[in-house]
Amino acid sequence: MKKLVSKTALIFSLAVLWEAVRVLGGYSELLFPSLRSIVLSLWAERAQLFANALFSLKLIGLGLFTAVVLAMMLALLCMSTKIFPGVITDIMAIMHPLPGIAILPVAILWFGIGIESILFVIIFSALWPLLNHFYTGFRSIPKNQLEVGRNLGLSGVKLALSVMLPASFPHILGGLRTGWARAWQASVAAELVFGAAGGQGGLGWYLYKKRFLMETPGVFAGMLLIIAIGLVVEYLIFTTLENLTVRKWKAVID
């Protein structure tokens, strides 16, 4: 409850600050729209925004899922072979600093202008931080716990699922958080850069159109929605997941 109050207060003060800067600075509505017009635009275009948000979320969901599966397999390979870790860490060192959006031109060359390219950028953006977190997590599992698992006769996939996964869950959760953020950023960035294929697009495409048409309140409305979705996912999904797992087990410091 206290948290809710402080969060509402924070949002409220940000809104006040926004209006104060706008009024005192005397900026034009085109550059710095009023909260009122942003909210009005948000409401007026709710159907369109909803469709675009849904499209983005589906794409991100698919991309993130693929990236998680890939990262998990690579991390497990790293744990079970001798040469793989070296190779993967080198590749990771090369790929990780590369912004996902930087490979968009390559993606377009390979997959053409369309959903596949955006998906590729999303997967690429999320894969490396995910792999990094998963691999770090697996390596930080207490040796005793792994050996208890092996002592019970577990090995391979069974050991991975029933011991390694829960034992490294704090890191896995951290990876999911970062991966989600990267995927979100990548999807918006990719659409902002080259728009959308066909009539379909996500929130990035929405921002692109609104900027093109100089409908500034619409640009901010789209941004507001992106932020809102981010907050909802963080508090509804990740925080809940955290409370049900690592916090309950005291695997993380409060």
Return residues touching other proteins (CB under 8 A): 142, 144-145, 147-148, 150-154, 162-163, 166-167, 169, 245, 248-251
Q: How far apart are CA 204 and CA 194, in angstroms?
A: 10
**Beta carbons of 108 and 190 less than 8 angstroms apart:** no
Other Cβ atoms less than 10 A from the Cβ of 103: the count is 20
Nearer to other proteins by Cβ, of 59 and 141: the residue is 141
Element (H, E) at 176: helix 169-194
Nearer to other proteins by Cβ, of 28 and 145: the residue is 145
Nearer to other proteins by Cβ, of 6 and 151: the residue is 151
Residues 6+ apart with CB under 8 A from 252: 170, 242, 246
* Cβ 196 to other proteins shortest distance, Å: 43
* Cβ 167 to other proteins shortest distance, Å: 7
Nearer to other proteins by Cβ, of 3 and 250: the residue is 250
Element (H, E) at 159: helix 156-159
* Cβ 163 to other proteins shortest distance, Å: 7
Other Cβ atoms less than 10 A from the Cβ of 67: the count is 25
**Beta carbons of 32 and 22 less than 8 angstroms apart:** yes
* Cβ 143 to other proteins shortest distance, Å: 8
Burial class (CB in 10 A: 0-12, 13-18, 19+), 128: buried
Nearer to other proteins by Cβ, of 58 and 158: the residue is 158
* Cβ 132 to other proteins shortest distance, Å: 22
